[in-house]
Amino acid sequence: MKASYYRYVLNFKRPSGTSRGIMTTKETWFIIIENNDRKGIGECGILRGLSIDDRPDYEEKLKWVCANINMGLERLVSELVELPSIQFGVEMAFKSLDGTDAFTLFPSAFTKGFDAIRINGLIWMGDEAFMRAQVKDKIEAGFDCIKLKIGAIDFQTELNILKSIRKTFSPSDIEIRVDANGAFSANEALEKLKRLSEYKLHSIEQPIKPKQTEAMAELCEVTPLPIALDEELIGVFSKKEKQNMLQIITPQYIILKPSLIGGFYGSQQWIDLAEDLNIKWWITSALESNVGLNAISQWTYTLKNTLPQGLGTGSLFTNNFDSPLSVKNGNLHYDIEKDWNFNLQA
């Protein structure tokens, strides 16, 4: 068995805004395992400035993994605890190697084209006109759940956008999630949540920056709007640390991004702990290419979670890989009539 790795830069179709700034490109890495005539493909989806493993020695770690690929999956994953995106890439590559083909990791009614995954439509930050246009497009495209990135433009303008949606669409027509990416300060968050709650939203992701455990716990206790932890989960490695954090904060939801929290294994550990505490959850991609999105989607389908998932990111890039993944009427489908075109030189 041998392994190699490759860097690939995804280009956004248009600059995409969050409260952390504007993104025009997204770097990712692929691990390819070869064993006799079989090939496995894994994606190490790193988000610069957010991933806990955004480190100067990242490429060195990839070289080490490839040199030691014969250690096997279990030992490699245990050695890569503090490098969750590489953990995920390795886990994906081994699963791919064992599949009926390199892109079928979790065979199901989804991969056979018989069933689909309900997803939310993502509304990126921008000026008011751009955000309103995106909302209109998503609703016309058949989404019944949309997620708005908030926290970068004037708060009153964001409230006005929510108000205009609710004038036309009731909560039973359109479910609205918002994602602040930690944009609110701890002392202003509750008041902002009260104002947001007037528009009957489903939830808010990460209202304040992570690692303010006491402030987040207080907020989750009194919030008028359900809170979903997202960035809060990054860099929490041991099962005991995860359990302690959930018990202290007791959020209404957690959001799982496998590339940021240790792949399928790390995500499943969070799910098990959350369910023990009656905390709900859903899965979100972290701007991986269609290769990583495919693996996450197939795994997500097997979990049978009925909430809309955050898996609608495949169409964001100009140079993504052609794949069977397609979005129709607010659902992610696997179109068996479409072929993969995985070309790292694209």
Question: Are 201 and 162 within 8 A, CB to CB?
Answer: yes
CA angle 147, 151, 157 (to 5 degrees): 85
- What's the CA gap between 116 and 297, in Å, rounded? 10
DSSP H/E element including 203: strand 203-205
Q: Extract the runs of DSSP E, i.e. beta strands, from 224-318.
A: 227-229, 253-256, 280-283
Question: Are 182 and 211 within 8 A, CB to CB?
Answer: no
- What's the CA gap between 215 and 220, in Å, rounded? 9
Please list the active-site residues.
149, 257
Please report, for residues 24, 165, 212, 229, the alpha-carbon distance to residue 313 in angstroms, rounded to integers and kept in the order given.
Answer: 14, 22, 29, 20
Neighbours of 317 (CB within 10 A): 19
At residue 36, what are phi and psi to the nearest 5 degrees?
A: 55, -120
